[in-house]
A and B are shown apart, each in its own frame.
Chain A
Amino acid sequence: DTEVTQTPKHLVMGMTNKKSLKCEQHMGHRAMYWYKQKAKKPPELMFVYSYEKLSINESVPSRFSPECPNSSLLNLHLHALQPEDSALYLCASKTGTGYNNEQFFGPGTRLTVL
């Protein structure tokens, strides 16, 4: 089973709201990723977790706050977002933390900030 699940599928929020995106995988993968994708553009890396520790933060604004409570779960907490943050947010996981492993993506959460 190579499935990464994400909830919710769609999210609409105001600029003062606080919300969270959730990502889950049960494949035993120890590296997990958050990406942001705007229309007609490739995904842009936001964060990487390796063995539940944050290993890469691509200079993402602090209004995005990642959390990895355990090896199967990855959250992205959202607060005081801007309309330009509207995008498809993708979660991915990798079979190992080494460099030669395949990444698997979830279906994404479509976020709209009003």
Chain B
Amino acid sequence: KQEVTQIPAALSVPEGENLVLNCSFTDSAIYNLQWFRQDPGKGLTSLLLIQSSQREQTSGRLNASLDKSSGRSTLYIAASQPGDSATYLCAVGGATNKLIFGTGTLLAVQP
């Protein structure tokens, strides 16, 4: 059974700092991995989708990497801003056509 873990559970950084969020999964037979952000009480916003054949994807200040063999993905946020404060979720997609979500990282960027 696929299990997805995110470390750390919570992170507080000063504005301007570069940071890395981690996502680990137990079954490397995935089709893709998607990173989302969620603001309190809101829906999920898709940030990046990485196909299983890709090593990384970039969008603006965000860069996501994928290492299938080791069961790991990282989300790198450059020059963090207070507006980046949110919960970040990773989710892996497999042959069941479902997304299995990680436990989330609550990020606070202090002005």
Closest chain B residue, CB of each to CB of A102: B49
Task: Find out whether the CB atom of A100 lies under 8 angstroms from the CB atom of B51.
Answer: yes
A48 touches B43 (CB 8 A): no
Chain B residues near A97 (CB-CB < 8 A): 97
Residue from the list A42, A43, A99 in contact with B93, Cβ < 8 A: A99
A56 contacts B98, CB within 8 Å? yes
Minimal beta-carbon separation of A36 from chain B (angstroms)? 12
Q: Does B70 contact A (CB under 8 A)?
A: no
Contact count A vs B, C-beta below 8 Å: 58
Most A CB atoms within 10 A — which of B32, B89, B96, B97? B97
- Report yes or no: B97 in contact with A55, Cβ–Cβ below 8 A: yes
In the complex, what residues of A have CB within 8 A of residue B32's CB? Answer: 99-101
A contact residues, total (Cβ < 8 Å): 26
Pick the contact of B31 from A31, A99, A103 — CB < 8 Å?
Answer: A99
Chain B's interface size range is 20 to 34
Say whether A104 faces chain B, with CB atoms less than 8 Å apart: yes
* Interface check B46, CB cutoff 8 A: yes
A105 interface residue (CB < 8 Å to B): yes
> What 0/1 readout, one digit per residue, does chain B (75-111) give for beta carbons within 8 Å of chain A?
0000000000000010101111111011110000000
- A102–B42 Cα distance when bound, in Å, is 19
By Cβ-Cβ distance, the 8 closest A-B pairs, closest first, are: A42-B101, A99-B31, A105-B44, A107-B43, A102-B49, A105-B43, A108-B43, A106-B43
Chain A residues engaging chain B, CB cutoff 8 angstroms: 2, 4, 6, 31, 42-43, 45, 48, 50, 55-56, 88, 90, 92, 97, 99-108, 110
